[in-house]
A and B are shown apart, each in its own frame.
Chain A
């Protein structure tokens, strides 16, 4: 920190990182580059279309070329309509989505981390059976569960409440699997032994040693659960009745249904499109920022499969 300190910093001592491994030749291929970027168009153009279309009003939407701007620039009018339609319910949907997915993802991450850590670092009777049950659960189809869960929740008076969306989303068998693989790799048994010799309790070891080493794994599980809940449509669709409680997916589907039904609400098309565009921004931004972390988290999960 101090200017007087003239010793070379770590960065200067450590040689520049040469690729993690052997690289036959650094030649770049023009052909491959062109091919890949052409493919990228397929993935990007629909989103580009969404962006362009959210700047059009309802009539230019259908009268101009879809992949380029045309007519007046109506983005701000569209946003204004979007945020005021039905007394600003769109903001409500955004907030609902955020609340549901963040709380579900936090909960799922905590549960999966504790369970994965236990599977990776302890021996106990029943370990194999419990882990097999967890893995098997990855394959249970949503429908087989959604219907009876709905009935159970309605008997408990929990349908049409946020809990109906959050609680079922807390179970992430894939998260447990990922955390197990990640913890097995990232946490050295000798560290745990050392902490035990020092007299630390198991929970303290988990908090102070385990959690610190599980960073990328935590981010990966958190992101996957976040996306799963954020993008979920089926569960909130059957659980919720009041549109005040809808997440963005169900809300947009409802707006779209109203728009397709036609009638007087023609203007809704551009509202649906602008709403779709606004709704994907938060996740796309989150992905850009967090990509470094989840990738190393996934790296171990993918190989040991």
Chain B
């Protein structure tokens, strides 16, 4: 394949050298744009246009008399004082602060343990931990919903057998924790794989240097491996910000088995859905969705900023 057989008939022009490079450059540039074109056509149609349209919608109000009326930022003003929206936002923020460190901590632990190749059956372990990622959130939530069941769920069965009484995972106070568990179960493996893949591509020289210094496994993990895969970890944090602030399938399905514990504004995403499709308040829903987007962008940005600052500080110190 390296020496393509003659490629005869493909054009045999050989103009003077400088013009040829110019022409070639222009041809390559054109090719690049053509390669990008299909993606960006869909990108604009499916991301940019809807986003602009959502922004536009959020500035109107639907009145019984007069129909659509320009409302300026009235919807936004309503949102930032709406206890339902703020409550949901607080819940996902709490979710992010508690669940994400647990999930990513576990993922990092598994990735490091598997990378150290010190356990028997690492390959099987990796596959089995990763497997839940192939399970749709809908199925995971249904399944855990049954597992949590106070009467027939196996967790309650075991707890009773051991004499712990019947835990109620679906009560209003505990349902957020129950949801954290579902999401952790689903995504530890996914995050582990991203970190593990990064660990596998650390160049060997780094380890040799550490060996000369006589570093043990833990020292190696802490001082060499984790710093080396920091970009991958950052990626998982950003994905987790986006994921937790947009929780939808879990609350909407748990709502069926625990209607008292899940309000229609349990998470902002669920709230926006209910506003748009149940209450028919499209404009207000658009404003909520937009605000949620801003919150996600800000949190992601702060996470990245923190990371950059840390990097700079460490550069100065070393």
Contact = CB atoms under 8 A, between A and B. Distances in A.
Interface in B244-299: 245-246, 248-249, 253, 256-257, 268-269, 272-273, 276-277, 282, 285-286, 288-290, 292-293, 296-297
Interface string B107-140: 0001001101111111001011111111111111
Contacts of B45: 167
B204 interface: yes
Interface string A17-38: 0011111100111001101110
A206 to B, nearest CB: 7
Contacts of A89: none
- Among A46, A119, A191, residue most surrounded by chain B Cβ atoms (within 10 Å): A46
A143 B197 contact: no
A143 B231 contact: no
Contacts of B164: none
B32 interface: yes
Contacts of B129: 39-40, 43
Given A39-B129, A252-B138, A46 B211 contact: no
Contact of A140 (B31, B198, B273, B293): B293
Interface stretch (B69-77, B169-177, B232-240, B310-318): B232-240
Interface in A155-186: 167-168, 170-171, 173, 176
Could you say which of B114, B136, B157, B253 has the most chain A C-beta atoms within 10 Å of its C-beta?
B136
A44 B185 CA distance: 10
A143 B92 CA distance: 15
A50 B238 CA distance: 32
Interface in A126-148: 127, 130, 133-134, 137-145, 147-148
A156 to B, nearest CB: 11
Contacts of B130: 287, 291
Contact of B43 (A147, A171, A284): A171
Contact of B152 (A22, A62, A147): A62
Contacts of B248: 142-143, 233-234
Given A22-B207, A212-B1, A115 B36 contact: yes
A152 B28 contact: no
Interface string A261-292: 00000000000110010011001101110010
Given A148-B53, A200-B7, A28 B289 contact: no
A215 interface: no
Contact of B277 (A168, A238, A248): A238
A94 to B, nearest CB: 13
B46 A149 contact: yes
Interface stretch (B79-87, B93-101, B188-196): B188-196
B158 to A, nearest CB: 8
13 contacts: A36-B125, A39-B110, A49-B147, A143-B289, A144-B292, A147-B289, A148-B49, A198-B4, A203-B31, A204-B7, A231-B135, A233-B138, A283-B134
Interface of A: 19-24, 27-29, 32-33, 35-37, 39-40, 42-44, 46-47, 49-50, 53, 61-63, 65-67, 110-112, 114-115, 117-119, 122-125, 127, 130, 133-134, 137-145, 147-149, 151-152, 167-168, 170-171, 173, 176, 191, 194-196, 198-204, 206, 208-209, 212, 227, 230-231, 233-234, 238, 248-250, 252-253, 256-257, 260, 272-273, 276, 279-280, 283-284, 286-288, 291, 295, 298-305
Interface of B: 1-4, 6-7, 10-12, 24, 27-29, 31-36, 38-40, 42-43, 45-47, 49-51, 53-54, 57, 106, 110, 113-114, 116-122, 125, 127-140, 142-144, 146-147, 151-154, 157, 185, 188-189, 193-195, 197-198, 200-202, 204, 207-208, 211, 229, 231-232, 234-235, 238, 242, 245-246, 248-249, 253, 256-257, 268-269, 272-273, 276-277, 282, 285-286, 288-290, 292-293, 296-297, 300
